[in-house]
Structure 1
Amino acid sequence: MTDELPVRIVDGRGVRAPGIGPVAMVWLPVDGQVIAKIPPRKGNRRWLHETVGIRSPELDDDRWKLPRSSLVRLVTAAIDRYGFIVLWRDMSRLSQCTRACLEATGVECQCSCLGAHHGQDAAGWFERVGDAVVADRGEFTRTAVVYGPRGSDADAVVYEGKLAGERYRVDRASRRDWPAAAQFMCASCMTVRAAVWDHCHTHGFVRAPLCNRCNTRYWQGWRPQHGRATHSRNFDDSYYRWCPEHSNTRRQCSA
């Protein structure tokens, strides 16, 4: 990994580049539940329940114990929320890389390629950022991979409400016909390519594609009403209007 990467793994910790907000850390052991450490924030339980679709998220100290079946949804939702996620994965040393690995549609598998080929033949909603950090733990191998939003090679265009009225979802079936956020310019600052899909946390509708900096501005303290300047003088929150309930209810749309 290089210094240019937005998130690096150094001595077992996620080190962020300037301007990158807190990221989630997730551990997938060989067996048992997924262990997630997400940045402390009011509403985390509700986010795990309503957005990620976990019926009863269990908090143990500062870590969440979650079902293995939720892993792909958790990675997708966390990338939309934080921009990046670090996934620690323990893999059996006896595992074999097969065609099933190349055709995998999620991030959970046991294979000797250390995840390098995982999902290669499938259109995913996230992609690896940099190389895996590998540690030998005897009977299994531990890897740490940073995942970020899916990119696009096409010229970015202005978003015109393609997903207007769509409920925000993080499962693959619901997102099958969604374009990548990176196909559009950020609907907030309009100065860089978007990276993730923003949604209204109050009403649950997709709003617009945003760049990571605009999407995580509250993590960085960019609150104009508190006298703190935004990262771009072009910042505009009019994209809130893409929530169909924005002007029809007293429950204000949330960031």
Structure 2
Amino acid sequence: MTDDLPVRIVDGHAVTQPGVGPVALVWLPLNGQVVAKLPPRKGNRRWLHETVGIRSPDFNDDRWNLPRSSLVRLVTAAVDRYGFIVLWRDMSRLSQCTRACLEAMGAECHCSCLGAHHGQDAAGWFERVGDAVVADRGECTRTAVVYGARGSDADATVYDGNLAGERYRVDRTGRRNWPTAAQFMCACCMTVRAVVWDHCHTHGFVRAPLCNRCNTRHWLGWRPRHGRATHSRNLDDSYYRWCPKHSDGRRLCSA
């Protein structure tokens, strides 16, 4: 049921289930730059520059103006960071759905299918969780699409350093041979299936697959009274060792 979705679009607004926490909001207009509103957090500029790969992120008031070419990387990185991202898209109703749409890897689409068929013949690093038509503007239709981490139908296994020594990447080429995080149990609590890839923000290496709660347990301000669910008490930080520069303890890894 729609009400069971972790993030829903209600009257044009993103509504999250208790325990999900704030998510990234992005608008893709017909033309011009991508506009992103990120949950307030120290280090957002550094994250956009170093992780998403945007040379000069432009911050205006409470939102970021970013190049269109960064959209797929932004969605991939935001899913890993926040668990979900809501993408508002303005699409032309006159354009036609093509083979390029069916095989597309990214989140940008201008076809008449309004993204319903987008990427169905390709495996990406995120998948649609929910969507809604927000406004019909004649030749242009605005839709809101919720993306989350791609799941897995296989039984979850224990992570054993499959990506040890790999640099964290959010581009299609860099993740070509990566397994999905959902193939493993969360390396921190070992009680639920993982959904995202965690990485060391200090050194840039992939560490382990985590569930959303464990991935965000250190974030200041995300408390149960603010709608953030408490994480499992069964925490194990030994997955930090998958960062090659964490071994001697002298070069600390960031959460």
What is the TM-score normalised by the length of structure 2?
0.94
**Further displaced range: 242-251 or 139-148:** 242-251
What does residue range 24-35 of structure 1 map to in structure 2 within 5 Å? 24-35=24-35
User: In 2, Cα distance between the equivalents of 1:216 and 1:133?
Assistant: 30
Partner of 2:254: 254
Letter in 2 for 1:84: F
User: In 1, Cα distance between the equivalents of 2:2 and 2:96?
Assistant: 29
Partner of 2:57: 57
User: In 1, Cα distance between the equivalents of 2:39 and 2:230?
Assistant: 21
Partner of 2:237: 237
Letter in 2 for 1:68: R
Q: Secondary structure at the match of 2:2?
A: coil
User: In 1, Cα distance between the equivalents of 2:177 and 2:156?
Assistant: 18
Give 1:236 deviation, angstroms. 1.6
Q: Secondary structure at the match of 1:245?
A: helix
Unpaired segments ≥5 residues, structure 2: none
Give 1:156 deviation, angstroms. 0.2
**Further displaced range: 127-136 or 150-159:** 127-136
Give 1:249 deviation, angstroms. 6.1
Name the Cα RMSD after superposition: 1.5
User: In 2, Cα distance between the equivalents of 1:65 and 1:120?
Assistant: 29
Q: Secondary structure at the match of 2:3?
A: coil
Give 1:96 deviation, angstroms. 0.8
Q: Is 1:9–1:133's contact at 8 Å kept on the other side of the alignment? A: no
Give 1:195 deviation, angstroms. 0.2
Give 1:151 deviation, angstroms. 0.4
Cα gap change, 1:63 to 1:116, in 2 (>3 Å): same
Letter in 1 for 2:202: T
Unpaired segments ≥5 residues, structure 1: 223-228
Letter in 1 for 2:25: M
Partner of 2:82: 82
Partner of 1:127: 127
Q: Is 1:202–1:251's contact at 8 Å kept on the other side of the alignment? A: no
Partner of 1:225: none
User: In 2, Cα distance between the equivalents of 1:29 and 1:150?
Assistant: 25
Give 1:108 deviation, angstroms. 1.0
Partner of 1:226: none
User: In 2, Cα distance between the equivalents of 1:205 and 1:168?
Assistant: 5
Q: Is 1:101–1:119's contact at 8 Å kept on the other side of the alignment? A: yes
Identity score, percent: 84
Letter in 1 for 2:137: R
Q: Is 1:101–1:109's contact at 8 Å kept on the other side of the alignment? A: yes
Give 1:2 deviation, angstroms. 1.6
Q: Secondary structure at the match of 1:78?
A: helix
Cα gap change, 1:142 to 1:103, in 2 (>3 Å): same
Letter in 2 for 1:132: A
User: In 1, Cα distance between the equivalents of 2:77 and 2:102?
Assistant: 23
User: In 1, Cα distance between the equivalents of 2:179 and 2:30?
Assistant: 33
User: In 2, Cα distance between the equivalents of 1:218 and 1:116?
Assistant: 36
The superposition leaves residues 16-64 of structure 1 with CA deviations (integer Å, 9 ceiling, x where unpaired) of: 1111021000000000000000011111000000000000000000100
Matched pairs, number: 249
Letter in 1 for 2:105: T
The superposition leaves residues 181-240 of structure 1 with CA deviations (integer Å, 9 ceiling, x where unpaired) of: 000000011000000000001110000000111112234348xxxxxx952121222111
Partner of 1:2: 2
What does residue range 1-255 of structure 1 map to in structure 2 within 5 Å? 2-219=2-219, 220-221=222-223, 230-248=230-248, 250-255=250-255
The superposition leaves residues 92-143 of structure 1 with CA deviations (integer Å, 9 ceiling, x where unpaired) of: 1211111111011111120011111101111100000023334202230000
